[in-house]
Amino acid sequence: MIVVHHLNNSRSQRVLWLLEELGIEYELKCYERDRETMLAPPSLRQVHPLGKSPVITDADLTIAESGAIIEYIVNRYGNGRLIPPPGTPERLRYTYWLHYAEGSAMPPLVMRLIFELFGIGDSKAMDAFIAPQIKLHFDYIEGELHKSTWFAGEEFTAADIQMSFPLEI
């Protein structure tokens, strides 16, 4: 059975949503962030060396990175659900958003979170780089969402689940 190592208020919400959406049984192991640093507890490093969430185990497999976890679950257990058929334009858009969420959207958002956490939210770096980058990305996302109902087209897919985290942040 899949075990989800879930850190409170984290990207592993995506994995829980996906598993619920697909109706897959799983076991939940919860971890609490340090209230000051927001870091995960050291016990999470016993599951994966980086000690980040999400991470899942499934029999003898340990899988980290939310995009990789989503791909694994959809391919292994999805039976074609929540993913556009191969070779379609929708499938390409699906792959794009699955990567874009962590590769492009999250970095400026994480920078802003860290700057705010350490009390340097009003800074030259925030004004000159971080805030304009966030605006650039969100104007782009808004424009893309005008083209179709969901990120990959007219059907809800796991790419929407992956994109939920930057939007929520």
Ligand X SMILES: N[C@@H](CCC(=O)N[C@@H](CS)C(=O)NCC(=O)O)C(=O)O
Q: Which is nearer to ligand X, 65 or 155 (CB)?
A: 65
Six-digit token string for 20: 């619920």
Q: Which of 4, 5, 6, 7 binds ligand X (CB under 6 A)?
A: 7
Q: Binding to ligand X (CB under 6 A): which residues in 92-151?
A: 102
Six-digit token string for 21: 């959406």
Q: How far is the CB of 135 from ligand X (least distance, A)?
A: 22
Of 52-60, 78-86, 91-99, 120-128, the window that binds ligand X (rule: CB under 6 A) is 52-60
Q: Which is nearer to ligand X, 40 or 83 (CB)?
A: 40
Residue 105 CB neighbours (<10 A): 23
Six-digit token string for 40: 């995960």
Q: Which is nearer to ligand X, 39 or 128 (CB)?
A: 39
Contact flag: residue 40 with ligand X (CB under 6 A): yes
Q: Which of 4, 6, 47, 53 binds ligand X (CB under 6 A)?
A: 53
Q: Which is nearer to ligand X, 48 or 93 (CB)?
A: 48
DSSP codes joined into one string, 69-112: HHHHHHHHH-TTTTSPPTTSHHHHHHHHHHHHIIIIIHHHHHHH
CB 63 within 8 Å of CB 77: no
Q: Provide the angle, in degrees to the nearest 10, between the axes of the packed helices 158-168 and 131-145.
A: 140
Which residues bind to ligand X, rule: CB under 6 A? 7, 10-11, 39-40, 51-54, 65-66, 102
